[in-house]
Each structure stands twice: as C-alpha cells, then as structure tokens.
Amino acid sequence: MDSIAYKDARDRFEEYKKHWMDSVNELNKAVEDSLENLIGKYKNMIHIVLRDFERGLTGGSTFDDVAEEWDMLNEKADTYLDKINAAYEM
C-alpha cells in the first residue's frame, strides 16, 4: 500500500512540477515580450527625438538635404569663380 501511495504522490509531484515549469516558462515569455516591446518603443522615441532635433536645426530639412544644398552652392561658387578668373585672364 505504501508503494502505491508513494507512486501516486510522485506522479502528483511530477504533474505539479510540469505545471509549475509551464507557468514559469509562460511568465518568462511574457516578460521577454514586454521587454522587447519596451525596447522597440524606446528606439522609436529616440528616432523621433533625433528627427525632430535634426529638423529643428535645419529648418525642416534633413542633414542629407542640407549637405546636398551645400554641395550645389559650392559647385555654383566654383563655376562662378572659374568664369571670373577666365574673364580676368583675358
């Protein structure tokens, strides 16, 4: 009779242990999902802050737009100076 009670107790313990481990795994998955969500929101917020900062510094443009405009201005200035120098040499 004792071995039957022991086997029954052991089976119940194994079942309890399985449910416990399943619950712990579900909790860990929920925590992991929450952290990934939080990290995603954090990265998105940083992106928004940097975008707004960039637009504030450039008057609504991006740094790439400003760099392109700067390059075009320098190219026009170089062309203008080349024409001035050519006219001066004549």
Segments making up each domain of the chain, as ranges: 1-59, 62-90
pTM for the whole thing? 0.58
Kindly report the length of the chain.
90
User: Which pLDDT belongs to residue 90?
Assistant: 66
User: Which pLDDT belongs to residue 55?
Assistant: 92
d(CA 62, CA 33): 34
pLDDT tens, residue by residue, 43-59? 999 999 999 999 999 89
Residue 20 pLDDT greater than 60, yes or no? yes
Residue 87 pLDDT greater than 70, yes or no? yes
d(CA 90, CA 84): 10
pLDDT tens, residue by residue, 22-34? 999 999 999 999 9
Are the CB atoms for 65 and 58 separated by under 8 Å? Answer: yes
